[in-house]
């Protein structure tokens, strides 16, 4: 059984309200928000960090960005603006080693 927190969330071992899900990607609110709107966009596939991405993962990364774009519109921050952040390895602030993108916005 995976010890990965995000795999547990995706596998519904940990109850979480998804704001988006499709066959490849899920999104949910960050438990410790750093902005008025703070979502996490997470691929179902367990990939530890950006450093181990392969060319085959390129469509998945595109999918994550497009999902973030759609969520920004849905949550009303598309026009005011938002940040998409991917932390890489411990020195880059990564705490959960299942790749994910932060969507931060709603300041104005
Ligand atoms: P990172 O530092 O880039 O690895 O980001 C991990 C993020 O996951 C942090 O912003 C945490 O607040 C968030 N997080 C940790 N546990 C949960 C959880 N159970 N549900 C939602 N977000 C979580
Ligand atoms: Zn995982």
* Residue 1 predicted with pLDDT over 90: no
Distance 11 CA to ligand 2 centre (A): 10
Q: How confident is the model at residue 2 (pLDDT cuts 50, 70, 90)?
A: confident
Write out the CATH class of domain 5-105. Answer: alpha beta
Of 41, 95, 97, 103, best ligand 1 pocket probe by most atoms within 8 Å of the beta carbon: 95
The pLDDT tens digits for 84-106 are 999 999 999 999 999 999 999 99
Q: How confident is the model at residue 62 (pLDDT cuts 50, 70, 90)?
A: very high
Distance 38 CA to ligand 1 centre (A): 10
Full-prediction pTM beyond 0.95? yes
The pLDDT tens digits for 27-54 are 999 999 999 999 999 999 999 999 999 9
- Domain parsing of the chain, residue ranges: 5-105
Q: Name every residue whose Cβ is closer than 8 Å to that of residue 23 and which is 6 or more positions away in sequence.
A: 44
Dig out the tokens for 29 from the structure: 């609110």
């Amino acid at each position: 059984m995976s010890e990965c927190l995000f795999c547990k969330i995706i596998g519904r071992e940990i109850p979480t309200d998804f704001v988006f899900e499709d066959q490849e990607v899920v999104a949910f609110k960050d438990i410790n928000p750093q902005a008025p709107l703070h979502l996490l966009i997470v691929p179902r596939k367990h990939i530890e960090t950006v450093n181990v991405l392969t060319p085959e993962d390129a469509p998945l990364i595109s999918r994550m960005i497009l999902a973030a774009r759609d969520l920004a519109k849905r949550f009303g921050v598309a026009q005011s603006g938002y940040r998409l952040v991917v932390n890489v390895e411990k020195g880059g602030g990564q705490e959960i080693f299942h790749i994910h993108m932060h969507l931060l916005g709603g300041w104005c």
